[in-house]
Amino acid sequence: MIGRIIVKLVLLFALCSVFEQQAKGQEYPWSLQYVTNMHTLNPAFVGMWDKAGLLASTRTNWIGVSGAPLSQYLGYFTPIKDQRSGVGVSMQRLNTGLEKRLSLTGDYSYQIRLDMYNYLRFGLRAGILNYDNNLSDYSLFPEPENPMDPKFSSDVRFYNMTTFGVGGVFYNEHLFVSLSVPQIINNTFKVNHSDTRSSVADAKSVYLSGSYVFSLINGIYFRPNLLLVATIGKPVYGDLAGLVYLPSNLQLGVNLRSTGTICFSAQYSFANNMRIGYASDYAVISDIRKYQMGTYEFIIGYDFNFTKRKYSKPSYF
For 191-212, letters b (16+ CB in 10 Å) and e give: beeeeeeeebbbbebebebbbb
pLDDT surpasses 80 at 37: yes
Is residue 198 in a domain? yes
pLDDT surpasses 60 at 26: no
Q: What is the pLDDT of residues 221-256, one digit of tens each?
A: 999 999 999 988 788 999 999 999 999 899 999 999
Is residue 306 in a domain? no
pTM for this predicted structure:
0.82
Is residue 36 in a domain? yes
Is residue 307 in a domain? no
Q: Rounded distance, CA 168 to CA 46, Å?
A: 11
Is residue 13 in a domain? yes
Q: How many domains does the chain have?
A: 1
**91 pLDDT tier (thresholds 50, 70, 90):** very high
Q: Which domain holds residue 137?
A: 2-266+280-300
Q: Rounded distance, CA 237 to CA 23, Å?
A: 5
Q: What is the pLDDT of residues 247-296, one digit of tens each?
A: 989 999 999 999 889 999 999 999 888 999 999 999 887 666 677 788 99
Q: How many residues would you count in the chain?
A: 317
Q: What is the pLDDT of residue 147?
A: 57
Is residue 317 in a domain? no
Share of the chain above pLDDT 90, in %: 49
Q: Which position has the higher pLDDT, 169 or 10?
A: 169
* Domain CATH code at residue 127: 2.40.160.40
Max Cα–Cα distance, the chain, nearest Å = 75
Is residue 210 in a domain? yes
Is residue 271 in a domain? no
